[in-house]
Amino acid sequence: MTDKLRGLIETLAERHSLSLEDYAYLIDHRCGEAAELLADLAVRVRQEIYGNAVFTRGLIEISNICKNDCLYCGIRRSNPNCDRYRLTKEQIWACADEGYGLGFRTFVLQGGEDAYFTDELLCEIVGGIKQAHPDCAVTLSMGERGYESYRRLRRAGTDRYLLRHETADRVHYEKLHPAEMSFDRRMQCLRELRELGYQVGCGFMVGSPHQTSGTLARDLKLVETFQPDMCGIGPFIPHKDTPFRAEPAGSVELTCYLLSIIRLIHPPVLLPSTTALGTIDPLGREKGVRAGANVVMPNLSPVSVRKKYELYDNKICTGEESAQCKDCLNQRMRSVGYEIVTDRGDIRARPQNFRKAPQM
């Protein structure tokens, strides 16, 4: 590794910030030795804040009906081969009840942008989960909604919201999305969610078509400036019924490299080792945690719908029952020296990084 590369990594670990040019340099000039150094530093700083705990969130995929047409996504509206479904509120509550019994204390409700899930209905669903399980956190990942909608969902008890920004580069954003979707709107949503007191997650795919070290540098700068509570990153994986069907998938190696960098930019961030990472490599999620991730998200959706929530080809964990998914991940984490913990797993701010308490 060059002296310059080593110097940049040391600066990053100390100051949690680099210029756009330096982030791009770190990516362009990466090598095995640099990846190891970054992972060592990332694991060390995560250890100081979280010990060897890995948090777990039960993922409930509530609908694959979507009004959007994102070019990368298997449940885009113009995919006629997608077998559409939505869960009833009773089914969603049943998933949460089962998850609670298995020890989950955070539920993530994710889905396409499906108009069926009005504010009234989502508030009732979230309210019902919070009432039955007051010690749990509820996260929504239902895409772009208006300020008023986010406000009502927050008042109904939603604690967190995941909305990956997908790419922090406007021109790149426009290559991944149809003209009717807007980069400014996406960013506006993230700001509104923050303002409403949510714990907010942004994130991006690694290796999405037209991505460069320059666009990735902007993603890293966004993490540095926005300081999200969560950051979801995973490899892009092509889906056979999308315009990107013939594009190559992202790599485990670059995803892990970026996980380490993100941990160093924002040490307390909650960083999932994603299902997509486990899909392109059977040991992907273990590798993610060893690079600095500290969250896993086993699937709690009814087995009957799991194959239908196919964002990308060959998605794993679509055949097992929830309990099996949980046990499998427990074992995987233990195999690399980590322990899955069952508390809500809120972000742990360091004393010098004090955050204002969320206001309702």
Please give the residue ranges that form the binding site for ligand SAH (CB under 6 A).
72-73, 110, 112-113, 141, 143, 163-164, 166, 205, 234, 236-237, 239, 276, 311-312
Query: In whole angstroms, how close is the CB of 244 to ligand SAH at the nearest point?
Result: 7
Query: In whole angstroms, how close is the CB of 237 to ligand SAH at the nearest point?
Result: 4
For residues 336 and 352, what is the distance between their CA atoms, to the nearest angstrom?
Answer: 30
In the complex with ligand SAH, the residue whose CB is nearer, 137 or 140, is 140
Query: In whole angstroms, how close is the CB of 40 to ligand SAH at the nearest point?
Result: 28
Amino acid at 12: L
List phi, psi (to 5°) of 230: -130, 155
In the complex with ligand SAH, the residue whose CB is nearer, 185 or 356, is 185
Amino acid at 333: M
Tell how far CA 134 is from the center of its chain. Answer: 24
Three-state DSSP state, 261: helix
Query: In whole angstroms, how close is the CB of 113 to ligand SAH at the nearest point?
Result: 6
List phi, psi (to 5°) of 85: -150, 160
In the complex with ligand SAH, the residue whose CB is nearer, 72 or 173, is 72
Query: In whole angstroms, how close is the CB of 208 to ligand SAH at the nearest point?
Result: 8
In the complex with ligand SAH, the residue whose CB is nearer, 45 or 159, is 159
In the complex with ligand SAH, the residue whose CB is nearer, 40 or 113, is 113
Query: In whole angstroms, how close is the CB of 317 to ligand SAH at the nearest point?
Result: 14
Q: Tokens 């892990």: give the residue.
A: 256
For residues 81 and 68, what is the distance between their CA atoms, to the nearest angstrom?
Answer: 16
For residues 122 and 305, what is the distance between their CA atoms, to the nearest angstrom?
Answer: 20
Beta strands in the chain (DSSP E): 53-56, 58-63, 106-111, 137-141, 160-162, 199-206, 230-235, 295-296, 339-341
In the complex with ligand SAH, the residue whose CB is nearer, 73 or 289, is 73
CB-count exposure of residue 197 (10 Å: 0-12, 13-18, 19+): middle
In the complex with ligand SAH, the residue whose CB is nearer, 136 or 276, is 276
For residues 28 and 49, what is the distance between their CA atoms, to the nearest angstrom?
Answer: 30
C-beta separation of 3 from 256 below 8 A = no
Query: In whole angstroms, how close is the CB of 242 to ligand SAH at the nearest point?
Result: 7
For residues 185 and 163, what is the distance between their CA atoms, to the nearest angstrom?
Answer: 12
In the complex with ligand SAH, the residue whose CB is nearer, 133 or 306, is 306
For residues 104 and 308, what is the distance between their CA atoms, to the nearest angstrom?
Answer: 24
Q: How far is CA 176 from CA 79, 168, 293, in A?
A: 16, 12, 26
Query: In whole angstroms, how close is the CB of 189 to ligand SAH at the nearest point?
Result: 9
Q: Tokens 């795919």: give the residue.
A: 205
In the complex with ligand SAH, the residue whose CB is nearer, 234 or 284, is 234
Query: In whole angstroms, how close is the CB of 269 to ligand SAH at the nearest point?
Result: 17
